């Protein structure tokens, strides 16, 4: 993606991030320009801890998480923010308190921003009706995971040196249950990357088959000439409805193996949002091979989330250049 001619930071106007559909190309460039600045200075241990000093955020994770929760927490610490963490099991929701009362309580405790993950699709939109502080959707049911999509595209942008021309990305797996797929498809389309989807018919919504992307059921055909393969986690906790014959048969048809990679472009990279089902979604050794960008995705998550926290919490947004002065 090319940087815009306009000064990117001046166009940012969002007070929350619930879904990729809120963003335009200028917003994406803005987020990436700050993420690039934060990442480029990380190795020289540049101190950003005065940027948002004195503010606080609450991480409300009603569903389990390793990467998203920790990267928000570490991003916040690097920016000088205080963080509070609350889980569903550890909150009064477990005693029957409503979601509305819970988020109003968090707001009354003067947190400056809420990062919210829920198992319910649409939960972030619902919560946004009650609170006036900034809100980031950290994944809601099958609906959306906008920060994951942004870090995925940021990883590809760095790897492909910001040139997406002619690139084909194949998304494989449990698209039906994947909030990552919904968000990432929307984002890749915005930057004109060609998208192929590959899944058994039972693991892709019918409405998505025809118009969102090229759709395949045969992985060997789908992998032909692609530049990146994004494997999705088979959501084994949701496979009790006979959607696949068995996990081992799913792996035989849809697992990412060396044989599948041999069909792709020689430069092919592998992505996975995590957590991985080893030897189901992808062969374990490929996930740590030199083709894999999976840990780069995790790194990108830190810098993209630093960028978002800065943009959503700073009252007077400085340009990346001004921050470095
Ligand atoms: N990709 C992702 O959301 O991972 P976590 O569930 O570990 O946060």
Ligand 1 atom 3 nearest Cα: 68
Name the phi and psi angles at 267, rounded to 5.
Answer: -85, 5
Q: Are 113 and 312 in contact (CB under 8 A)?
A: yes
**Alpha carbon of residue 230 to chain centroid:** 12
Q: How far apart are CA 56 and CA 111, in angstroms?
A: 5
Which of 62, 63, 67 gets mutated to test ligand 1 (max ligand atoms within 8 A of its CB)? 67
Which of 59, 60, 63, 68 gets mutated to test ligand 1 (max ligand atoms within 8 A of its CB)? 68
* pLDDT score recorded for residue 45: 82
* pLDDT score recorded for residue 241: 72
Tokens representing 140?
Answer: 């809601």
Distance (angstroms) between ligand 1 centre and the Cα of 66 equals 6
One pLDDT digit (tens) per residue for the chain, 325 residues = 333 444 545 578 999 999 999 999 999 999 999 999 999 988 878 899 999 999 999 999 999 999 999 999 999 999 999 999 999 999 999 999 999 999 999 999 999 999 999 999 999 999 999 999 999 999 999 999 999 999 999 999 999 999 999 999 999 999 999 999 999 999 999 999 999 999 999 999 888 877 778 999 999 999 999 999 999 999 877 766 778 888 899 999 999 999 999 999 999 999 999 999 999 999 999 999 999 999 999 999 999 999 999 999 999 999 999 998 8
68 CB near ligand 1 (under 6 Å)? yes
* pLDDT score recorded for residue 10: 58
173 CB near ligand 1 (under 6 Å)? no
65 CB near ligand 1 (under 6 Å)? yes
* pLDDT score recorded for residue 240: 67
Give every CB contact of residue 31 below 8 A, 6+ residues apart in sequence: 23, 150, 154, 304, 307, 308, 311
Query: Residue 73: which region, alpha, beta or left (left: phi > 0; alpha: psi -120 to 50)?
Result: alpha
């Amino acid at each position: 993606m090319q940087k815009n001619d306009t000064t990117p930071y001046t166009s940012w106007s969002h007070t929350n991030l619930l879904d990729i559909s809120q963003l335009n190309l200028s917003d994406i460039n803005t987020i990436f320009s700050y993420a690039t600045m934060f990442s480029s200075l990380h190795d020289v241990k540049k101190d950003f801890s005065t940027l948002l000093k004195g503010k606080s955020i609450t991480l409300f994770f009603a569903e389990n998480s390793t990467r998203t929760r920790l990267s928000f927490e570490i991003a916040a610490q690097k920016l000088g923010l205080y963080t509070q963490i609350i889980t569903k099991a550890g909150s009064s929701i477990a005693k029957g308190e409503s979601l509305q009362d819970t988020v109003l309580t968090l707001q009354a405790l003067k947190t400056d921003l809420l990062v919210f993950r829920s198992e319910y699709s649409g939960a972030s939109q619902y919560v946004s009706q009650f609170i006036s502080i900034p809100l980031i959707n950290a994944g809601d049911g099958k609906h959306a995971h906008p920060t994951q999509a942004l870090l995925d595209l940021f990883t590809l942008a760095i790897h492909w040196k910001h040139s997406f021309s002619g690139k084909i990305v194949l998304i494989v797996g449990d698209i039906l249950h994947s909030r990552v797929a919904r968000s990432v498809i929307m984002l890749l389309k915005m930057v004109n990357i060609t998208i192929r989807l590959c899944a058994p018919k039972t693991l892709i919504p019918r409405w998505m088959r025809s118009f969102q992307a090229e759709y395949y059921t045969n992985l060997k055909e789908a992998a032909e000439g692609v530049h990146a393969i994004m494997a999705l986690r088979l959501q084994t906790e949701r496979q009790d409805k006979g959607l696949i014959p068995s996990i081992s048969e799913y792996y035989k048809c849809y697992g990412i193996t060396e044989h599948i990679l041999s069909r792709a472009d020689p430069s092919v990279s592998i992505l996975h949002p995590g957590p991985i089902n080893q030897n189901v979604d992808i062969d374990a050794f490929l996930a740590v091979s030199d083709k894999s960008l999976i840990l780069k995705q995790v790194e990108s998550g830190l810098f993209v989330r630093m960028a978002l926290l800065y943009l959503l919490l700073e009252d007077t947004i400085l340009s990346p250049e001004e921050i470095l002065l």
